[in-house]
């Protein structure tokens, strides 16, 4: 009974990484806000369907259409646009409050997740301010209270990150994929996670960035005996029995 547990802080959002790769997302509107939404969706490999009169297109949105990066319809939204069962979510970015609310209500009837730009009560989810460096994505959300503040906080966080953190994470991801080939069984899961954690702790950020495919193959030989050599030991080809996890940590990561 003496244990202490985290206090509940209501009013937050459940922040998730929503996988929309190859899924259809409907964007209504073609202005500056829509341009940002479309970029986020394309970066997530979504199939974007855009509905907006051509005379309201932002130059960036027009560029996406010209490059055929989106499926485009030159007209205003129609209720029948939501009849496609493949639509995963709807994003509106139009300067018509009444029309936006109507779209929101239609989405609720069809149980389609929707985001109505600049109207927090009519959003199933929010867009935060995102920092991107290769596979690394960091999102800051103010839960609709202050989008500009989210941008300021995100910039401050990004300014304190190592400049090569994205490369290091990409290398760690490649090593994890190789490890799953070496030890594919589900029963190996806990050991794989612990071993990868030890590598992230012992190797410095610079070591991880410098790691090449041959280094990964050599390093994986230490998985079975559950030992962690340094990068220099890997390249010197020392025997696994001489490797020790000495507790000297470089940097910590959770991947």
Active-site annotation holds for 118? yes
Q: Are 169 and 255 in contact (CB under 8 A)?
A: yes
Residues 189-206: b if buried by 16+ CB within 10 A, e if exposed:
eeebeebbebbbbbbebe
Within-domain flag for 225: yes
pLDDT for 127 equals 87
208 shares a domain with 179: yes
Same domain, 139 and 169: no
Band (242; pLDDT cuts 50, 70, 90): low
Q: 41 and 115: one domain?
A: yes
Residues of the chain above pLDDT 90, percent:
77
DSSP states of the chain as a string?
-----PPP--S---------TT-EEEEE--SHHHHHHHHHHHHTT-EEEEE--GGG--HHHHHHHHTT-SEEE-S---GGGGG-TTEEEEEE--S-HHHHHHHHHHHHHHT-EEEETT-GGGBSS---EEEEETTEEEEE--TTS-HHHHHHHHHHHHHTS-TTHHHHHHHHHHHHHHHHHHS--GGGHHHHHHHHHHHHHHS-HHHHHH--HHHHHHHGGGTTTT----HHHHHHT--GGG----S--------
Residue 144 pLDDT: 78
Q: Is the residue at 218 inside a domain?
A: yes
Catalytic residue among 81, 118, 207, 215: 118
Mean pLDDT of 56-80: 97
Tokens of 50: 């855009």
Residue 17 lies in a domain: no
- What confidence score (pLDDT) does residue 248 get? 46
**Same domain? 145 vs 56:** no
If one compares 222 and 248, the residue with the highest pLDDT of the two is: 222
Tell me the CATH number at 75: 3.40.50.720
Query: Is 1's pLDDT higher than 90?
Result: no
pLDDT in tens, 143-168: 878 888 999 999 999 999 988 899 99
Q: Is the pLDDT of residue 198 over 60?
A: yes
| 241 band by pLDDT with thresholds 50, 70 and 90 | low
115 and 175 both lie in a single domain: no
What pLDDT, on a 0 to 100 scale, did the predictor assign at position 230?
Answer: 93
Q: What is the mean pLDDT of residues 95-108?
A: 95
Please give the pLDDT value at position 255: 45
**Do the Cβ atoms of 246 and 167 come closer than 8 Å?**
no
Host domain of residue 219 = 165-242
pLDDT tens-digit profile of 30-56?
999 999 999 999 999 999 999 999 998
Residues 119 and 193 in one domain: no
C-alpha torsion sign, points 72, 73, 75, 80: negative
**Together in a domain, 224 and 234:** yes
Judge if 215 and 205 occupy the same domain.
yes
- Supply the pLDDT for residue 245: 47
Question: How many CA atoms are closer than 13 Å to the CA of 127, on its beta-carbon side?
Answer: 22
State yes or no: pLDDT of 22 exceeds 70.
Answer: yes
pLDDT > 60? residue 219? yes
185 in the same domain as 200: yes
HSE value, Cβ hemisphere, 13 Å, CA-based, for 200: 19
Verify that 119 and 155 share a domain, yes or no: no
Structure tokens at 19: 């996988």
Co-location of 108 and 169 in the same domain: no
19 within some domain: no
Q: What angle in degrees, to the nearest 10, is found between the helix axes of 165-182 and 189-202? A: 150
Mean pLDDT of all residues belonging to the chain: 91
Is the CB of residue 152 less than 8 Å from the CB of residue 192? no
Mean pLDDT of 5-20: 90
Residue 16 reports pLDDT greater than 90: no
Number of domains comprising the chain? 3
**Predicted TM-score of the model (pTM):** 0.78
């Amino acid at each position: 009974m003496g244990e202490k547990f985290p206090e509940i802080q209501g009013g937050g959002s459940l922040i998730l990484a929503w996988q929309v790769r190859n899924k259809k997302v409907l964007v209504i509107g073609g202005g500056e806000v829509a341009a940002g939404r479309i970029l986020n969706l394309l970066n997530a490999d979504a199939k974007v369907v855009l509905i907006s009169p051509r005379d309201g297109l932002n130059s960036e949105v027009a560029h996406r259409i010209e490059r055929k990066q989106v499926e485009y319809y030159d007209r205003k939204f129609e209720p029948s646009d939501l009849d496609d069962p493949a639509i995963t979510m709807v994003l509106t970015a139009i300067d018509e409050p009444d029309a936006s609310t109507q779209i929101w209500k239609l989405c609720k009837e069809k149980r389609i997740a929707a985001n109505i730009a600049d109207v927090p009560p009519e959003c199933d989810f929010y867009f935060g301010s995102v920092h991107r460096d290769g596979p690394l994505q960091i999102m800051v959300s103010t839960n609709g209270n202050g989008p500009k503040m989210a941008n300021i906080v995100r910039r401050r966080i990004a300014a304190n990150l190592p400049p090569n953190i994205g490369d290091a994470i990409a290398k760690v991801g490649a090593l994890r994929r190789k490890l799953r080939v070496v030890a594919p069984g589900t029963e190996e899961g806990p050991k794989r996670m612990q071993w990868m954690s030890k590598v992230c702790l012992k190797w410095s950020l610079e070591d991880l960035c410098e790691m090449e495919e041959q280094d990964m193959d050599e390093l994986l030989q230490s998985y079975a005996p559950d030992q962690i050599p340094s990068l220099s030991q890997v390249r010197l080809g020392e025997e696994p029995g001489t490797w020790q996890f000495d507790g000297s940590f470089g940097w910590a990561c959770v991947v």
